[in-house]
Amino acid sequence: MEISGEAAVDRLAADLAAGLERVVSLLRALSQPSGLSMTAVATLATLEREGTQRLTGLAALAGVTQPAMTQLISRLEDDALVRREADPADGRVVQVRITDEGRATLARRRAGRAAKLAVILTQLSPEHQAALATAVPALDALAAARRDEPVLA
Amino acid sequence: MEISGEAAVDRLAADLAAGLERVVSLLRALSQPSGLSMTAVATLATLEREGTQRLTGLAALAGVTQPAMTQLISRLEDDALVRREADPADGRVVQVRITDEGRATLARRRAGRAAKLAVILTQLSPEHQAALATAVPALDALAAARRDEPVLA
DNA sequence: GATAGATCCATAAGGATGTGATATAAATGT
DNA sequence: ACATTTATATCACATCCTTATGGATCTATC
């Protein structure tokens, strides 16, 4: 007996939609109160992972509007975490690049989060820990798949 | 040769800390632009899942300050999604209860997110889909474990 | 049983960060 | 050349968070 693929996806989507609600609180609790916003961290991570990006692209990837990204990049630039660069092929576009200081900040931030997460993870069963370890690449794939989905642009 | 449990947890924590950065963007993209904030949805979900809660407890679970939760509950109450109730045993505390309209709103919200998620999930390999399905209970356990962690209170 | 301290919630003031509308500059197509 | 589209910036405004503080109620100790 084979499980219907379509129904399974819908079921998974519903479960995941409900489950992800809880992750927001977790993320907020993991963040230091006085630091970068969640969007700022996500954007820095994108720049580190994918390299230089244009501003509009970053806005779409972060799920915010273009004006919001313009302001975010300005703030990050003031903190010397990113650099605006001109695009030689198109005078309108702004290419955004992460700086070494940006990378260092991101690393520090991750280390802090990881330390807090590690404390919590030790309370979980080995099965749940294993499930999370397996899910990390899947979450990455999920985020990557969204990039190519015009519905969510 | 046995893998050190402690090292494995640290490694998982680091991977998960980096991986969760991407989820923020995904969550934002899944949200309708004009609706409830991410904190509001997470709080409503807590109330639905755990039942009536005191205001301070909600703030701790959501990872925000108590004044922020007071304001959020006021907004939700204005929209008739929650109700403030007096605690018969302690005159200081405010018990917050989700209303039927709150449940309905949460359900609508989840349905919208699930529909968008389903589109993305179909692009993932069966292995990744399976990994995510297995991870949902683990994510719940992770969020539940945080509750008992005073370090993050 | 009075009173000091702790706890819970509300309020106020301010800041960070989002949106929508619109301006400006550059590229593109006719 | 000129109209249209595209990329970014700017402006006005709304949302939602923070810190600081106040008032009400509970708890413990004298």
Q: What is the pLDDT of residues B2-18, one digit of tens each?
A: 556 678 899 999 999 88
Using the structure block, give the residue that is written with the tokens 């819908």. Answer: A10
- Averaged pLDDT score across all residues of chain B: 87
First-to-last C-alpha distance (Å) of chain A: 38
Chain B CB contacts of A15 under 8 Å are 133, 136
Q: Which of residues 72-101 of A touch strand D (CB under 7 A)?
A: 73-74, 84, 87, 90, 92-95
The pTM (predicted TM-score) of the whole model is 0.85
Cα of A98 to nearest chain B Cα, Å: 16
How many residue pairs bridge chain A and chain B with CB atoms within 8 Å of each other? 244
Binned at pLDDT 50, 70 and 90, residue A92 comes out as: very high
pLDDT tens for B40-90 read: 999 999 999 999 999 999 999 998 999 999 999 999 999 999 999 999 999
Q: Label the pairing between strands B53-54 and B82-86.
A: unpaired
pLDDT in tens, A24-68: 788 877 777 657 888 999 999 999 999 999 999 999 999 899 999
Residue A97: strand, helix, or coil: strand
Confidence bin at B33 (pLDDT 50/70/90): low
For residue A99, the model assigns a pLDDT of 96
Query: What dihedral do alpha carbons B64, A23, A145, B110 form, nearest 10°?
Result: -90
